Amino acid sequence: MYINRKFYENYVSTRDVELLHEYTLKVLKEVGVSFNCEEALDIFKKHGATVEGSIVKIDESLLNAALETVPKTFTVHTSSGETSIGEPFRPKTVGCYGPSKFLFEDDTYRVAQMADMIKFLKLMDTSDVTDFVNNAAFDTPDLDKDQDDFYLPQVSMCLKYSKKPTYGNVANSLNTRGKSLKKAARGIANLYKEFYDIWDKPVLLTNACALSPLGYSYEVLDNIIGLCEEGQPVTIITCSMTNMTAPAALLGTVIQNNATILSGIVLTQLINPGVPVIYGSVSSATDMREVALAIGAPEAQLIQMSSLALARYYQIPVRTGVAGTDSMKPDYQAGVETFMNLMTTYLGKADFILHHAGILQSYALGSYEKFVMDEEVNRILLRLNRGIDISDTKAEKVFDEIKKAGPLGNYLSGRTPKDYRQEHYLTKLFNRAAGDPQPIADKIGDIRERAAKEIEERVENYILPDLTQTQKQILNKFLPESEKF
């Protein structure tokens, strides 16, 4: 059982949430949000929103009507099973998402190639703390980009290399030339429906990022419309930067983010009432010394906890938190910032986590080594969430043990007790060896060496999923030539 500890309530009270909501309503009604898409504007007009050029203003009644139809939970279906998302369930995860460059085990940085992305898919597929897979790098240089659509070849590799559900990115005008992005989004949804032979349920989940401040691009909106028409869930997120694309005061950032996210959620429900949607935010502080996003900043966690509180107020599934860091290597800084980011997510209880492992340099770098290190952080936080098993029955049992051992006794007796096995997390990657440090260091190496060894073992032992002939034929229509069955 995953315990919803509501860690965020230590920082954001019910009264705080009500104030945030009050001023969000004012922003939606008096300022509005820009929607750079005629079809989206027509949808809003049809349902009574105020539309002034590209600016949409939403009143409280329209917002409330839309929120009424948002599912509190939903399930993504594949031919291998179901993955449920929402407050009653353990947070669901997906790994490193979309950086153009990777840090490799030889300590070099270079642009990711298709083989590098596939290697990440193998790590995600073999991970016990990763629920979804995704393309860890998009539009790699070695893809055939002469074809009009080189996005479907990329997402089809998720289906080839894993039976886990897919977390997708929106199609864009560069990788789906010659057709509308709405049609491209519907094509992606229908590829998954055909592959799984599931036609009337959610079969994938897609990320849709707003354009701060208070806007949505036509590319994102076309994807949202196409996916919602196909009954597929989307995650509406903001990634605003304080003092640049959001107010300097964290309060202002949270209010602006909330208005932006809610306006996108309203659109999803006007398109297809009841279509699943996730409330998401990875907005963060700006370091004005570098004019750069600082995802490892403590302010980022305060923004995320506010997002958690607001999503719970609206009873919408929520995505927040990342295994993020501003460091360029998996070093001490990376560990501190990653743990801080994920602590909010796991102890605050988000429902979905993107970038739960393997990301560096404010989303710009991917790292295999950090992926397996971050898996350990995820496991540790899952253990922390379980807490201590305290009950009358357990108290009686341990009292008898204490009484039996007595003063200056011990608790070593025969086989390892069931309580020890159940209540202790034993890391496979972090060092716990005690003694003379030099022989230990010579034997086990440093953490990056241990991570590299695990990566090598997992990739070598990876087994391609057993697909049906029909599924292989479907994928062969889209897979890059080198990847066809």
pLDDT class of 5 with cuts at 50, 70, 90? confident
Domain at 7-11+45-386: CATH code = 3.20.20.480
Query: What's the pLDDT score for residue 4?
Result: 84
Question: Mean pLDDT score of the chain, rounded to an integer?
Answer: 95
Whether 114 and 145 have beta carbons less than 8 Å apart is answered as no
Query: What's the pLDDT score for residue 313?
Result: 98
Instruction: Give the CA distances from residue 143 to residues 147, 364, 482, in Å, rounded to whole numbers and listed in that order.
Output: 10, 20, 10
- 30's tokens: 């008096």
Comparing C-alpha atoms, which of 109, 52, 94 is closest to residue 204?
Answer: 94
d(CA 61, CA 161): 46
* 202 CB-contact burial (10 Å; exposed 0-12 / middle 13-18 / buried 19+): buried
So where are the chain's domains?
Answer: 7-11+45-386, 392-423
Query: What's the pLDDT score for residue 2?
Result: 86
CA angle, residues 280, 282, 285, in degrees to nearest 5? 145
pLDDT class of 291 with cuts at 50, 70, 90? very high
- pLDDT tens digits for range 32-58: 999 999 999 999 999 999 999 999 999
179 pLDDT more than 90? no
Measured in Å, how far apart are the chain's first and last C-alpha atoms? 41
Query: What's the pLDDT score for residue 7?
Result: 87
Whether 101 and 112 have beta carbons less than 8 Å apart is answered as yes
Q: How many residues does the chain have?
A: 485
- pLDDT tens digits for range 195-206: 999 999 999 999
Instruction: Give the CA distances from residue 398 to residues 55, 189, 346, 371, in Å, rounded to whole numbers and listed in that order.
Output: 65, 54, 29, 38
pLDDT class of 282 with cuts at 50, 70, 90? very high
pLDDT class of 435 with cuts at 50, 70, 90? very high
Query: What's the pLDDT score for residue 372?
Result: 98
150 pLDDT more than 90? no
d(CA 396, CA 148): 69
Distance of CA 40 to the CA centre of its chain: 26
Query: Comparing 127-136, 144-153, 197-206, 212-221, which segment has the lowest mean pLDDT?
Result: 144-153
17 pLDDT more than 80? yes
Whether 192 and 159 have beta carbons less than 8 Å apart is answered as yes
Query: What's the pLDDT score for residue 177?
Result: 79
Which pTM does this prediction carry? 0.96
d(CA 109, CA 233): 35
In 282-380, DSSP assigns E strands to: 285-287, 292-294, 318-320, 352-353, 359-360, 365-367
- Reduced to 3 states (helix: H, G, I; strand: E, B; else coil), residue 375 is helix
Query: What's the pLDDT score for residue 1?
Result: 72
Q: What is the mean pLDDT of residues 115-137?
A: 97
- pLDDT tens digits for range 297-353: 999 999 999 999 999 999 999 999 899 999 999 999 999 999 999 998 899 999 999
